[in-house]
Chains A and B, each alone.
Chain A
Amino acid sequence: MADEDAATVKEPLDLIRLSLDERIYVKLRGDRELRGRLHAYDQHLNMILGEVEETITTVEIDDETYEEIIKTQKRMVPYLFVRGDGVILCAPPLRQ
């Protein structure tokens, strides 16, 4: 019975419960994306992710030529608490 309970999806956050201990993709405000293992979350979508890769996309303007330069910065963080109010969406990572 308990197992059945754990596997049923009745509301959006149940889907996130099924991603516990899985690698997920999180899109955040401010052109930021995270890929990491989900260790904890709550109803605000505050989360703790492990082995996190953050990707930041920025558009800069060259001082001389005024050309647009689109840059993506990446960095790794071992463990990260993410505040839920910045989260746009969560998804299981695409399987390659």
Chain B
Amino acid sequence: MLFYSYFKTLVGKEVTVELKNDLAITGTLHSVDQYLNVKLNNVKVVNEAKYPHMMSVRNCFIRGSVVRYVQLPPGSVDIEILHDATRREARG
């Protein structure tokens, strides 16, 4: 639940989701669920010319399993909280 809880704190912030098929999408995080599926609003595709099928898409749902990375907004990462939550999670 650590990352689910963390991503919930990012709702409303701008993130870039990079998929395993190399597609990278920037957008406002609208929601996340326990599978780490995410919904982005006002999306913009990095390297848009290569992915013309995304030109008419403004909001999208991304299946958690196809995500490789999420680039996080620097101001939103509270390192102390993350460390504590990780230690708590590791203890089980």
Q: For A81, give its contact among B70, B87, B89 (CB under 8 Å).
A: B70
Nearest chain A CB to B81 CB, angstrom units: 9
Q: Is the CB of A79 within 8 A of B74?
A: yes
| Chain A proximity mask over B1-44: 1 for CB below 8 Å, otherwise 0 | 01100110000000000001000000000000000100000000
Which A residues from 50 to 88 make CB contacts under 8 A with B? Answer: 50, 77-83, 85-86
The prevalent SS among residues of B at the interface is helix
- A30–B20 Cα distance when bound, in Å, is 9
Nearest chain A CB to B64 CB, angstrom units: 8
Residues in A with CB closer than 8 Å to B87 are 6, 17, 20
- A3–B3 Cα distance when bound, in Å, is 26
Number of interface residues of B (CB under 8 A): 25
| Chain B residue nearest to A44 in the complex (CB) | B3
Q: Is the CB of A21 within 8 A of B83?
A: yes
Residues in A with CB closer than 8 Å to B82 are 39-40, 48
Q: Is the CB of A86 within 8 A of B68?
A: yes
Nearest chain B CB to A43 CB, angstrom units: 8
Q: Is the CB of A80 within 8 A of B71?
A: yes
Q: Is the CB of B86 within 8 A of A79?
A: no
| Chain A residue nearest to B18 in the complex (CB) | A80
Q: Is the CB of B72 within 8 A of A80?
A: yes
Identify 10 residue pairs between A and B in the complex whose beta-carbon atoms are under 8 Å apart, listed by A's number.
A13-B90, A17-B90, A21-B83, A39-B86, A42-B89, A46-B2, A80-B69, A81-B69, A81-B70, A86-B68
